[in-house]
Structure 1
Amino acid sequence: MSRTHSYTTTLNWTGNQGKGTVNYKSYERSYNISIPGKPDISGSADPAFRGDPGKHNPEEMLVASLSSCHMLWYLHLCSTAGIVVTSYQDNAEGTMEELKNGSGKFTEVTLKPIVTISKAEQIEKAKEIHAEANKMCFIANSCNFPVRHEAEIKLS
């Protein structure tokens, strides 16, 4: 039996400098994302597209979404397999290709988790669980590009 979950966000463009979009350079690409009961996220376009480098951009948030979804599944699967994870850090990277018409698409994301576990005899199983976590990740299952893993397992 499948269940449906709904998510609601509100996006407000904050980049009108008084003239609206009268031309390409007349407006900022800034916006706020609001989710009830949570802090707002200030966003902008990537600096390559006239965005504010001090704000989150959609491309970074996509990579972060993949990274965090994978981590949450990985931690769950390790806990049910009896693997004690004591530290997890991911230095994820995404590659986007800009097309001639100005559009673009992600061609891949590589997650690079550094995971610390407590037992040496579980290192191989801890590595294997990354493939299972990828299969379970809601965000990765929604992408039309590969999500790769270059995991490192350490001992605490």
Structure 2
Amino acid sequence: MSGQIEARLAELGVTLPQAAAPAANYLPFTRSSNQLFISGQIPMGPNGLEFQGKLGDGYGVEDGQQAARLCAINLLAQAKAALGDLDRIVRLVKIVGFVNCAPDFGDQPKVVNGASDFFVAALGEEKGPHARSAVGAASLPFGVAVEVEAIFEIA
């Protein structure tokens, strides 16, 4: 039987993918006391890497929001791999969103809303709201448009 968070994901039409293996010498997640730190996730979809490019130069805010949402889905996949049960999440503490963008692009917060809005919908009003940063970057790994990392409080 699935828990409350997985039931919300099903209502949203989201099936979590298999958690991706790290692409270099790092851990996909690490636990410290009651916190789960998840390494930055990129927009890997069912057909491979998606959203490769720059915001403000080929991609608009809505594209970036979809990329950030996909990153958030992958973060939950990592959380499930780490915890076995997403209902062990007490709350999302913080996310950091990196946006690959043109020098004059200033809508990083709007882009990262794609992840923030998804987390609130998936985790609910008590567990989903979080602190965050939205940072512009000159480039990101594999040329992706967005990368997001997360810190969860866990039981």
**TM-score range relative to shorter protein:** 0.3 to 0.5
Q: Structure 1-normalised TM-score? A: 0.33
Task: Using CA pairs under 8 Å that are at least 6 residues apart, name the structure with larger relative contact order, 1 or 2.
Answer: 2
Q: Structure 2-normalised TM-score? A: 0.33
Q: Which one has the bigger helix percentage?
A: 2
Which structure's CA Rg is the greater one? Answer: 1
